[in-house]
Amino acid sequence: MERYLEGKTALVTGSVQGIGLAIARALAGAGARIGLHGLATQDAIDRAKAETLAAGAPETRFFDADLRDAAAIDAMMDAVSQWGGPDILVNNAGIQHTVSLAEATPDIWNAILAVNLSGAFHTMRRAMPAMAERGYGRVVNIASVHGLVASVNKAPYVASKFGLVGLSRVAALEYAAAGDRKSGGVTVNCICPGWTETAIIGPQVDARAAAHGGDRAAGIAELLAEKQPSRRTSDPAEIGALAAWLASPLAHNVTGTAIPVDGGWTAQ
């Protein structure tokens, strides 16, 4: 595999499992040093470190900042900067709580907005000025199809993801002229996954499976038939491959986009 990110440092939030870990592995395979992040057990941290090193990262470190705490994010960004980066920032950490607008509490709203949107704002405001100084930087924000279209019972989540897409577009415009083709420039993009094989969709799959006597495959099929025309879930590795391409020097003129990986969901 071409190691086009050799000498670069990547910070991937929410990267001890699922899509985040898949992205970390893909960036590691391209030669980047990997800053892992999450709230996880030591065993999960050790496994994630081992996987990214095995994938090709020359070095891996772990950061455990609570993204609901701006001061903790500042401390994390200080530590990553002292390490030499980040040249690549992937905001993947996210939480979801399926609840009606009437039943959504202030605590649910505040937690989802803090992790999914404010966390990305705080990492970006700290990372991007240094990216501009170096003339190279990549921000990849993992939004969702729910950053492009809405669904019932997801008001806080949809609001956070629409906000993330908007934040990313503003940042893309503000930094569009930083650097040049030779240095690589500074870009900001969103990836908007549809149904993907991760823990976050587990409660919805379980609810559908229960309606089919516990048949998980039937529950997944029903869930996808409603929204995703391909009726196929995405594998996290597919999101990782796209994120790694967006992080590459070749993608210097791809900025301000929100790319769906949704089997045609948002094409309807």
Strand pairing class (88-91; 60-63): unpaired
| 175 is a catalytic site residue | no
List the 258-261 sheet strands across, edge first: 60-63, 33-37, 9-12, 88-91, 136-142, 185-193, 258-261
Please list the residues that pair with 12 across neighbouring strands.
Answer: 36, 90
263 within 8 A of 204, measured Cβ to Cβ: no
CA distance 59 to 33: 5
Which DSSP state fits 145? Answer: G
- Catalytic site residue from 4, 136, 157, 175: 157
Alpha carbon 161 to its chain centroid, in Å, reads 11
Q: Which residues of 48-74 are buried (b: 16+ CB within 10 A; e: fewer)?
A: bbebbeebbbeebbbbebebeeeebbe
Q: What is the rounded distance in angstroms from the CA atom of residue 179 to the CA atom of residue 252?
A: 10
Torsion region of 31: left, alpha or beta (phi above 0 gives left; psi -120 to 50 gives alpha): left
Report the distance separating Cα 114 and Cα 235, nearest Å: 27
CA terminus-to-terminus distance, the chain:
36
Specify burial of residue 45 (Cβ count, 10 A radius: 0-12, 13-18, 19+).
middle
Active site residues: 157
